[in-house]
Amino acid sequence: MIFEILAIGLIISAILALFLDEVVYSVAALSGIFFFTAIIYALSGSLFAAIFQFAVGVGTLAILFLSSEMLGEKQIKKASPAKTAGLIGAGVVLSLPAIFLSVSTKKNLGIDVDFGEALWNMRGFDVLLQALVILTIALGIAIVLYERRKK
Amino acid sequence: MDFVILALIMLAIGIYGLLTNRQLLKVFISIELIATAATLNFVMLASPHGLGEALLILAFSVDTAVSAVILALLVLVSKRYGTGDLSKIIAEMQENAEKEESEVEAQ
């Protein structure tokens, strides 16, 4: 039952994020998407995925709130309750197929490895390269900021 | 409850938003929705195994890098054209292109 409620919440948040007029409200609805997705991951046993989702979501939301403040229009229009209710209703209707229909046939992929084994033994080189790329980006940003400060 | 259908619905909403929204930040939110649908599939199809989560890290890093590039482009375009509305930006770009063409013809 909890997964059904989370699915409905996820679809409603997605629809509100796209169809609300004000960008700040859309970003707030996007936080709902990240929250519901992370809860779904955590309840299905993928705790690492839930933690990553929270971490990435919080970062994205912080930047998006700043961007919406910078780029959005200055006066905030109030969303009409009728439109919001319509969007929520559309979200509930759209989430019904996910609750009542089923297309998944094969759940077991035949691969039985734990997270650490998959990460280090199967994708160790890849993970190190990703860390290197992220480190290079961080260094690049630090250098650019330092050069700007010098000027 | 089927997460593949849930991911499909999310993907459909994201693509619809990508095609119909004129606000740059809404376009970005649509791309985030599409990425969320993809990661949902990654996790739910391989949730009992570690492989899905390990692959998910790659998906998250790609998603974050794409988000950073899109946001940087978005800020640049908004600063240059003074608006976040795609239709206004395209109209201004067309105007600029026409001006450049007429200048070239005049020369």
**Other C-beta atoms lying within 10 Å of the C-beta of residue B27:** 20
For this complex, say whether ipTM is above 0.95: no
| pTM score over 0.80 | no
Parse chain B into domains and list their residue ranges.
3-106
Q: What is the pLDDT of residues A46-67, one digit of tens each?
A: 787 888 888 888 888 888 888 7
| Percent residues over pLDDT 70 in chain A | 81
Give contacts of B77 with chain A, Cβ < 8 Å: none
Residue in the block written with tokens 């013809």: B105
In angstroms, the CA A109 to CA A121 distance is: 19
Would you give the DSSP letter of residue A118? I
Verify whether the Cβ–Cβ distance A116 to B50 is below 8 Å: yes
Q: What is the pLDDT of residues B6-60, one digit of tens each?
A: 888 999 999 999 898 888 888 889 998 998 898 888 777 765 566 667 777 777 8
Mutation target to probe the A interface, by most A beta carbons within 10 A, among B16, B23, B42 is B23
Give the CATH number of domain B3-106; options: 1.10.10.60, 3.40.50.2000, 1.10.287.3510, 3.30.420.10. Answer: 1.10.287.3510
